[in-house]
Amino acid sequence: MELAMKTAPYLPSMFTESIVIVEFPLASWPLDVKPSTCDRFPLTYEIYEYYLPGKDFMEQTAFDSLRLMSGVSAIELNGRKVRTF
């Protein structure tokens, strides 16, 4: 049984040896933002990637890597931009 969530705290993902697919919902403008017309500027998405250190299964390494990608400025600094749309 699946429950509909307004904002999911996770990103569904699938992977193979050579590719990782991450699904995410597209954002929308809040309904209470004025003016509520269709002539708003479109949203831009920037996708960044960060690879964990190879063959390092230490808990501390995992948490350090999460910290490196924990905010917008950290992601821009430590990640590699792979796509903008």
pLDDT tens digit string along 2-51?
666 666 677 888 989 888 888 887 777 666 666 555 666 677 889 999 99
Q: How many residues does the chain have?
A: 85
The pLDDT assigned to 4 comes to 64
Question: Residue 78's CB: how many other CB atoms inside 10 A?
Answer: 14
